[in-house]
Amino acid sequence: MTAFGAFFGGFHSFFSIWVFCLMQIVPFIIAFIVASTVREDGPAPEKTDWQPLTISAVSVLGGFIAIFSAIGMVTTPTSKMLFRYMDLLNQFGGVIIGLIALYFIGLLTLGASSETKKKGLLTGFGVLLGASLAVAYKPCVTPTLTIIYNINTSPDNMMWGGTLLVLYTLGISAAILLVGAPLAVFASKAKSANIRLYLKRGCGALLLVVALLMLTDKMTIYKSMLVEGFVPAAEDGSGHSHHDHGGPQPPAAEEGHSRHGDMEHEK
């Protein structure tokens, strides 16, 4: 597994059948970026204001990459601690996302009237939202992630495995940004202030949904609906197919490396 392979694996997963698994996080990250970029007051800006878009995207994706990678580096004390408090962090994340949602809906006012305060608020919200989604996200083992996880499970490979995981998540993030940024620009240019207001509130409502899913511990049910509904089953080892419907098969996995003391991998 090369560094580029890890990045491309993450990027490609967004444009493959695995995007349905990524739907555990993608709509909510994009909703945050759109809601942060859209200004509901005043006329639509003639030029795109890139600052809120950049701040929100970097903070939310940064928070996501940091925590998702930290959890995935399973031999580290940080990962162990995160696992130990996973359920609690999930609840904490649900509350945080709920508050962010209510802020965008307009029910929670935090008195951030100055631009500097707003930027600070946006950055904090972004990091917390990204981190919370990383805790709630239960990834599907895509072919590339299978290899990375199995590299990661050996303490000897911690640095390399961690780097690959960061690159993989960066790849996913780049793909999310590729879709999310144009959407945010498009939404921010809506002529009617009312439309922009409803868009912002709609994004808030979407965030409220994920907050409730996390607080009620129903994220797995949401994931299972996505995967069972959209990702077709492959044949099992005995050669029998287990889903009745047709459709494309998941991409053929590369041979998974395994967690073993003498495991070798290509760098």
Partner 1 sequence: MTQNGTAVSPQSASTAKRRNLIILLAALAVLLNGAVNFFESRKNSAELIKLGTPLPEFSVKQADGNSISTAAFKGKPVIYYFFANWCPCSHASIGFVKKAAADNAPSGLALFSIGIQDSASEFEKFAQKHDISTPVGVSGGNDVAAMLGIRTTPTTLFVDANGVVQWIFIGKIEKYEAIEKGIAAITGGKVG
Mapped onto helix, strand or coil, the DSSP state of residue 85 is coil
What is the rounded radius of gyration, in angstroms, for the C-alpha atoms of the chain?
Answer: 20
Q: Does 153 engage in binding with partner 1 (CB under 8 A)? A: yes
Q: In terms of DSSP H, where are the helices of 38-157? A: 50-72, 77-84, 86-105, 115-136, 143-152
Nearest residue (CB) to partner 1, 178 versus 194: 194
Q: Does 108 engage in binding with partner 1 (CB under 8 A)? A: yes
Give, in order, the Cα–Cα distances in Å from 172 to each of 29, 31, 145.
12, 16, 11
Q: Tell me how crowded residue 90 is: count the other CB atoms within 10 A of its CB.
A: 16
135 near 93, Cβ under 8 Å?
A: yes
Q: Does 113 engage in binding with partner 1 (CB under 8 A)? A: yes
Q: Does 192 engage in binding with partner 1 (CB under 8 A)? A: no
Judged by CB under 8 A, the stretch of 25-33, 48-56, 159-167, 237-245 that binds partner 1 is 237-245
59 near 127, Cβ under 8 Å?
A: yes
Q: Does 194 engage in binding with partner 1 (CB under 8 A)? A: no
- What's the chain's length in residues? 267
Q: Does 260 engage in binding with partner 1 (CB under 8 A)? A: yes
Q: How many residues touch partner 1 (CB under 8 A)?
A: 68
Judged by CB under 8 A, the stretch of 1-9, 53-61, 161-169, 230-238 that binds partner 1 is 230-238
Q: Tell me how crowded residue 105 is: count the other CB atoms within 10 A of its CB.
A: 17
Residue 179 is inside which H or E element, if any? helix 158-188
Tokens for 197, please give them: 């207001």
Nearest residue (CB) to partner 1, 148 versus 181: 148
Which listed residue (107, 120, 194, 267) binds partner 1 by CB under 8 A? 107
Which listed residue (141, 158, 195, 205) binds partner 1 by CB under 8 A? 141
Query: d(Cα 253, Cα 145) in Å, to the nearest integer?
Result: 10
Q: In angstroms, what is the minimal distance from the CB of 157 to partner 1?
A: 12
Can you give the binding site for partner 1, defined by CB under 8 A?
39, 41, 71, 74-75, 79-80, 83-88, 91-92, 94-95, 98-99, 102, 106-113, 138-141, 143, 145-146, 149-150, 153-154, 215, 220, 223-225, 227-228, 231-240, 242-243, 250, 252-256, 258-261
